[in-house]
Structure 1
Amino acid sequence: MTNDSNGIENKNSNNSSQLPAAFIQKLVDNYRNNQLALINQNMAMDDAHSIWFDLVTLKNFIAEIETEALAIDPAVENKDLGIRFYYAAYSPEMQPPIPSNYSKKHTLVMVPTKKEEGLNYDFNPFQEEEGKALAVTGIALAQNHGDLVPPGASIVESY
């Protein structure tokens, strides 16, 4: 076993979905003590520090990415598809179905990506330009609006 530059023990060379809990806590603490503290202080608010999505929503989004990508490029392989998570913030003026207590808070927007020539491009199967699908205008395949904490109860969080 080896340790990487962050002190994380690597049991093997594959992409494991396991991280030490102490490392996760350190990352969360770093964010809360630095970025979140500055945001809350400078914007005089209690910004969101986590977001939750149910597995059904995530699996459906992944399935839709796969289906739509295959519809425009039957040769695309799953290894060339991915999801980019954009940090985002809700506007001060909220529109349903987004609750008004989400106003100005952090959120995530997930957009599909497709690898071309070794680069993971944002990918919108609803808009094609010379064989390359880009999310630029109109409707884009994306996912947003999980449950934010706050305003949700932080009692459900471990970190």
Structure 2
Amino acid sequence: MFIDYYDVLSVESIATSEEIKLAYREQSKKWHPDRNLNIDTTDKMQLINEAYLILNDNEARSRYDIEYFKFKQKNTNTRNDCFSESEEKNSSKQYKYEDYKVDDEILEKWMKNARHQAVDIVKKILQEVGELTVDATKAAGKKMGELLIGYLIFGVIMLVLFKACSS
């Protein structure tokens, strides 16, 4: 299976390392679980991280580019536009080409490793987002408890003063 990593990051194949890094950051922000609360962005985030792991490594990118241009020659209409609004929230399958076999065994191994690393990265992100949510909820509950105790103490003091003044 071949994945169009350039399309995943929405960059051209001639993009510089800096442009790839910037595109990775933009896509990561766009598809981060914090910004897509009601959408499962796991697959998309994994794909973004996988693409970056390959394209950010000079040797891996060099091997990938050789395979990419073979792929492009074989399939002239492979460049997909960015997700349309309806597809944007649902799938990352449009970047994957099941019918194309990667010839470079080393690259294929690196791509599989990048896929596994990307899964681990996204699991960690999702875990951190979950922990942040729990921590935020606990902090908000603690603050509300402190406010409630403050209001109760104020109420008791006011009640005592009211009773003392009326006697």
TM-score, length-scaled by structure 2: 0.28
- Structure with higher Rg: it is 2
Say which structure, 1 or 2, has more relative contact order (CA 8 Å, 6+ apart): 2
Name the structure with the higher helix share: 2
Name the structure with the higher strand share: 1
TM-score, length-scaled by structure 1: 0.29
